[in-house]
């Protein structure tokens, strides 16, 4: 199968020529992955994507992650709510972090007319949620509703709607409360994992359930008895609202002097006709991406080179690029821990229509395993 | 050749009929009168609310881009085995013969899209289909959402891409104008036009938002074009309740191409009910903007359809609707039941 590069190859060349970015596109197609591995990856990712976990409300997805981990792990949950898997013995200690949470909303007030006022959790375009189905995640279970539509768009309509509200069909505050709705409840759109053609798929919250899936798959496929170093795999909370879970973990782990931290997260790719082509060049299906520079971190060049050598040795397709956004690993650097974020190229970040190529999930999982075993 | 005198006489009849329609069904669009549904018993016991809700959801989940209505028409024929397809693509059900003729028309189509082109990278571009003005946000409802492309080998899932929010940081904010169809690129996972072709997707394949009707509140149903589909469900329900023998002729038309000047309805009315009084012709599918759903009150007004023979005055029975012309256009099943009751009585000749 061919990656979708087409016209975007020109953008790659432009980026190389004018910006001097590090781009190491795999010279050959991704190695053929066997069907069983692809099926397993699809199954794990589907379960993760179809479970909800707005920032600060990660209970369900946290429980699922623990269920999906291999039996040999002994996961713990720290005071912040992060899931911690610790294994192996000896120095140097390596840390991996993928985040459990997803963007969404929280109920801030139940109005007298029964509608729910909301606040956003994470950054996204509210226009993508106006006029869409909604789910209010109450203690008694999800309550369906809709994100209300603005009263009148008029001839001078704006793309951005006024503050969004959720309508659950209740006409009074008491009626809404009778449905079990309380202030502080999480609100999302419904979501589902949908395969596209070839090995692509779409869903909301691929960011960062793909990272979680990659860590789970790596743990399933490595032999803990053969690991000659200690490693910690973290599934963090509240990344979208300020890297809060990772910040807590970094402080707790600082005395152990980890040699590196690897944030395992989305590499927001510009491989669409809509995004700027001057950076974030990482076509889908061309493999895991070393996120060398973003808004919150820069990877030491020697570590990028070393990572590239490791990937070459293990025949893992690796791209190197720069993108926007922050990552959980960046809060470790103030403790003297280098951040070497790795990710999967994804389109349409923080939207209901995020897109990935499953081959990149497998590459990401392979690279995590290689780092644990060899680097 | 008709004389000028007969044309004048016919025109006068049309005007009189239009006046009668206005008197019978109250003010024109925008000032609808809310009238409780009749309490007269129906000809036969109707579906349970749950069954009626299921029928509404079933029809609301279907896609029938105007001009590409075959799948919806086939479903309606499956629901009403006595119905037939006419030359204009309408689904027509008839019972009885002779006068008086009573006809209820519900449009089965929707404004949607077809594949307008395929880029070198395998993205689909879109062309809107349907002449009905849908408001400035209609195309924006596509952005960043799932769509279904109806290819020759079946339904193909896709998404309409959206700019990654991360990559817009630091860029000029822009004018905040609504999303435009020129920016709609559908990703079906293809990497080339050859991939697209292999999926059975070609130019002119119909495309619509993936339909996932939402049930919420007290039997509320939200979906694109919910009022229209729920009205058609009410008509199906009414037809099932019409007794085997009626006075005159009862006709139900599920009309094609509402969104191209009602030409399906125009054909059916000219063929089957030419010149009938306004009180004997009912047009369905309209949405009465309202926040009060579920009280069984309908919006009644006068309307008309221009046929090849002239203007056919009609009564329009609209469902109370919230969030009109949005993906979560919402109706109440209780109102659909009231509409079905009224339609059943009308078709049976009880009023």
Structural domains of chain A ordered from first start: 8-102+204-374 (3.40.630.10), 104-188 (2.40.30.40)
CB contact under 8 A, A149 and B141: no
Nearest to B322, CA basis, from A186, A113, A104, A126? A113
Angstrom distance (rounded) from CA B145 to CA B161:
8
Give A195's contacts in chain B (Cβ within 8 Å).
157, 189
Rounded to 10 deg, the angle between the A206-221 and A35-49 helix axes is 130
DSSP H helices, chain A, are 8-14, 35-49, 59-68, 173-178, 206-221, 244-253, 301-313, 358-374
Residue A363 has pLDDT above 80, yes or no: yes
Angstrom distance (rounded) from CA A231 to CA B234:
63
Q: In a 3-state reduction of DSSP, which class is residue A56?
A: coil
Most B CBs within 10 A among A120, A152, A159, A171, hence the mutation to make, goes to A159
Chain B closest CA to A159's CA: distance in Å?
Answer: 4
Chain A closest CA to B337's CA: distance in Å?
Answer: 18
Helices (H) and strands (E) in chain B — how many of each? Answer: 7, 18
Place of tokens 């009022």: B227
Q: A228-242, A356-370, B4-18, B49-63: lowest mean pLDDT where? A: B4-18
Q: What is the pLDDT of residue A374?
A: 86
Type and span of the H or E element at B198:
helix B193-198
> Residues of chain A with pLDDT > 90: what percent?
84
CA of B106: how far to CAs of A87, B93, B197, in Å? 66, 12, 35
The nearest alpha carbon in chain A to B212 belongs to: A133
Instruction: Please report the ipTM that was assigned to this predicted complex.
Output: 0.89
Most B CBs within 10 A among A197, A266, A270, A355, hence the mutation to make, goes to A197
Band (pLDDT 50/70/90 cuts) for residue A15 is: very low
Q: What is the pLDDT of residue B351?
A: 59
CB contact under 8 A, A268 and B164: yes
What number of other Cβ atoms are within 10 A of residue B171's Cβ?
A: 9
Q: What is the pLDDT of residues A145-187, one digit of tens each?
A: 999 999 876 777 899 999 999 999 999 999 999 999 999 999 9
Rounded to 10 deg, the angle between the A59-68 and A206-221 helix axes is 20
CB contact under 8 A, A353 and B144: yes
pLDDT in tens, chain B (351 residues): 334 444 444 444 444 444 343 333 333 233 344 444 444 334 456 789 999 999 999 999 999 999 999 999 999 999 999 999 999 999 999 999 999 999 999 999 999 999 999 999 999 999 999 999 999 999 999 999 999 999 999 999 999 999 988 888 776 667 789 999 999 999 999 999 999 999 999 999 999 999 999 999 999 999 999 999 999 999 999 999 999 999 999 999 999 999 999 999 999 999 999 989 999 999 999 999 998 899 999 999 999 999 988 999 999 999 999 999 999 999 999 999 999 999 999 999 985
CB contact under 8 A, B161 and A144: no
Nearest to B195, CA basis, from A9, A16, A199? A199
CB contact under 8 A, B323 and A355: no
Angstrom distance (rounded) from CA A29 to CA A315:
11
Angstrom distance (rounded) from CA B228 to CA B111:
12
Most A CBs within 10 A among B135, B140, B191, hence the mutation to make, goes to B191
Tell me, yes or no, if the pTM score tops 0.95.
no
Topology of domain B112-209, CATH: Elongation Factor Tu (Ef-tu); domain 3 (2.40.30)
Give B148's contacts in chain A (Cβ within 8 Å).
none
DSSP readout, B260-280? TTTHHHHHHHHHH-TT--GGG
Whether A196 has its CB under 8 Å from any CB of chain B: the answer is yes
Angstrom distance (rounded) from CA B254 to CA B106:
5
Residue A20 has pLDDT above 90, yes or no: no
Residue A226, classified by CB atoms within 10 Å of its CB into exposed (0-12), middle (13-18) or buried (19+), is: exposed
Q: Where are the domains of chain B?
A: 17-110+224-348, 112-209
Nearest to B109, CA basis, from B66, B57, B61? B66
Peptide bond into B107 cis (omega under 30): no
The nearest alpha carbon in chain B to A278 belongs to: B167
- Paired with B299 in beta bridges are B34, B318
Q: What is the pLDDT of residue B257?
A: 95
CB-CB contact of B146 with B209 (8 Å): yes
End-to-end CA distance of chain B: give it in Å, rounded. 38
Q: What tokens appear for B287 in the block?
A: 């949405």
CB-CB contact of A118 with A135 (8 Å): no
CB contact under 8 A, A323 and B166: yes
Average pLDDT score over residue span A290-295: 94
Q: What is the pLDDT of residues B214-240, one digit of tens each?
A: 999 999 999 999 999 999 999 999 999
The nearest alpha carbon in chain A to B149 belongs to: A196
The nearest alpha carbon in chain B to A357 belongs to: B189
Q: In a 3-state reduction of DSSP, which class is residue B233?
A: helix
Topology of domain B17-110+224-348, CATH: Aminopeptidase (3.40.630)
CB contact under 8 A, A198 and B140: no
Interface size, chain A vs chain B, as Cβ–Cβ contacts under 8 Å: 191
Give A349's contacts in chain B (Cβ within 8 Å).
164-167
CB-CB contact of A181 with A172 (8 Å): no
Q: What is the pLDDT of residue B38?
A: 44
Chain A closest CA to B191's CA: distance in Å?
Answer: 5
Q: What is the pLDDT of residue B14?
A: 41
Most A CBs within 10 A among B142, B146, B151, B159, hence the mutation to make, goes to B159
Q: What tokens appear for A110 in the block?
A: 């139940």
Type and span of the H or E element at B30:
none
Residues 6+ apart with CB under 8 A from B351: B38, B40, B345
Whether A153 has its CB under 8 Å from any CB of chain B: the answer is yes
Q: What is the pLDDT of residue A4?
A: 56
Q: What is the pLDDT of residue A33?
A: 53
Q: Contacts by A58-63 with C-beta closer than 8 Å and gap 24+? A: A58/A100, A58/A101, A58/A237, A58/A238, A61/A100, A61/A101, A61/A209, A61/A212, A62/A100, A62/A235, A62/A237
CB-CB contact of A231 with A73 (8 Å): no
Q: What is the pLDDT of residue B80?
A: 97
Residue A31 has pLDDT above 90, yes or no: no
CB contact under 8 A, B166 and A324: yes
Average pLDDT score over residue span A227-249: 96
Give B136's contacts in chain A (Cβ within 8 Å).
153-155, 157
Question: What dihedral angle (degrees, nearest 10) is formed by the CA atoms of B171, B179, A203, A244?
Answer: 40
CB contact under 8 A, A149 and B164: no
């Amino acid at each position: 199968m061919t990656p979708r590069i087409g016209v975007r190859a020109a953008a790659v060349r432009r980026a190389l020529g004018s910006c001097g970015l590090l781009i190491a596109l795999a010279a050959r197609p991704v190695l053929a992955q066997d069907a069983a591995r692809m099926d397993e990856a699809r199954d794990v990712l589907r379960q993760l994507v179809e479970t909800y976990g707005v920032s600060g409300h990660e209970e369900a997805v946290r429980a699922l992650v623990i269920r999906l981990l291999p039996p040999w792990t002994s996961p713990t949950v720290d005071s912040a709510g992060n899931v911690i898997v610790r294994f192996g013995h000896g120095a140097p200690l390596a840390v991996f972090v993928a985040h459990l949470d997803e963007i969404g909303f929280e109920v801030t007030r139940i109005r007298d007319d029964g509608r729910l006022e909301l606040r956003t959790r994470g950054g996204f375009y509210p226009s993508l949620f106006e006029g869409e189905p909604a789910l209010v995640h109450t203690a008694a279970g999800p309550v369906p509703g809709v994100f209300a539509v603005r009263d009148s768009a008029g001839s001078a309509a704006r793309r951005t709607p006024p503050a969004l509200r959720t309508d659950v069909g209740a006409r009074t505050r008491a009626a809404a409360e009778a449905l079990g709705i309380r202030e502080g409840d999480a609100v999302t759109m419904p979501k589902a994992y949908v395969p596209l053609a070839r090995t692509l798929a779409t869903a909301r919250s691929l960011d960062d359930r793909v990272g979680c899936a990659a860590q789970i798959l790596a743990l399933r496929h490595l032999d803990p008895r053969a690991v000659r170093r200690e490693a910690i795999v973290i599934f963090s909370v509240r990344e979208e609202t300020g890297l809060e879970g990772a910040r807590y973990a970094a402080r707790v782990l600082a005395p152990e002097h980890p040699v590196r931290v690897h944030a395992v997260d989305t590499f927001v790719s510009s491989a669409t006709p809509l995004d700027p082509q001057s950076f974030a060049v990482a076509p889908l299906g061309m493999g895991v991406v070393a996120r060398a520079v973003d808004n919150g971190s820069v990877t030491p060049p020697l570590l990028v080179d070393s990572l590239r050598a490791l990937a070459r040795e293990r025949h893992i397709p690796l791209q190197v690029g720069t993108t926007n956004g922050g990552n959980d690993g960046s809060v470790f650097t103030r403790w003297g821990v280098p951040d070497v974020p790795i990710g999967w190229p994804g389109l349409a970040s923080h939207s209901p229509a995020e897109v990935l190529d499953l081959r990149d999930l497998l590459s990401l999982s392979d690279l995590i395993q290689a780092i644990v075993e060899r680097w | 050749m008709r004389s000028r005198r007969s044309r004048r006489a016919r025109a006068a009849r049309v005007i009189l009929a239009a006046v009668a329609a206005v008197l019978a069904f109250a003010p024109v669009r925008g000032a609808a009168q809310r009238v409780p549904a009749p309490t007269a018993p129906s000809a036969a016991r109707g579906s349970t609310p749950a069954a009626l809700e299921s029928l509404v959801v079933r029809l609301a989940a279907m896609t029938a881009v105007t001009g590409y209505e075959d799948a919806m028409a086939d479903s309606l024929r499956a629901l009403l085995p006595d119905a037939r397809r006419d030359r204009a693509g309408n689904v027509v059900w008839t019972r009885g013969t002779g006068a008086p003729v009573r006809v209820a028309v519900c449009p089965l189509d929707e404004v949607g899209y077809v594949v307008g082109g395929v880029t070198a990278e395998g993205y689909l571009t879109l062309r809107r289909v349907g002449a009905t003005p849908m408001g400035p946000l209609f195309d924006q409802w596509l952005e960043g959402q799932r769509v279904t492309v109806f290819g020759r080998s079946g339904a193909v899932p896709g998404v309409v891409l959206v700019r990654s929010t991360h990559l817009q940081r630091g860029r000029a904010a822009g004018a905040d104008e609504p999303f435009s169809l020129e920016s709609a690129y559908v990703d079906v996972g293809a990497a080339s036009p050859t991939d697209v072709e292999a999926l059975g997707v070609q130019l002119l394949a119909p495309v619509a938002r993936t339909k996932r009707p939402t049930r919420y509140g007290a039997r509320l149903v939200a979906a694109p074009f919910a009022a229209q589909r729920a009205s058609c469900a009410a008509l199906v329900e009414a037809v099932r309740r019409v007794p085997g023998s009626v006075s005159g002729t009862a006709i139900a038309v599920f009309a094609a191409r509402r969104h191209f000047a009602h030409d399906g309805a125009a054909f059916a009315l000219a063929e089957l009910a030419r010149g009938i009084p306004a009180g004997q012709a009912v047009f369905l599918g309209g949405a009465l903007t309202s926040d009060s759903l579920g009280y069984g009150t309908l919006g009644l007004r006068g309307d008309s359809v221009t046929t090849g023979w002239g203007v056919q005055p009609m009564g329009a029975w609209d469902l109370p609707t919230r969030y009109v012309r949005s993906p979560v256009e919402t109706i109440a099943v209780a109102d659909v039941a009231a509409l079905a009751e009224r339609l059943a009585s009308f078709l049976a000749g009880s009023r």
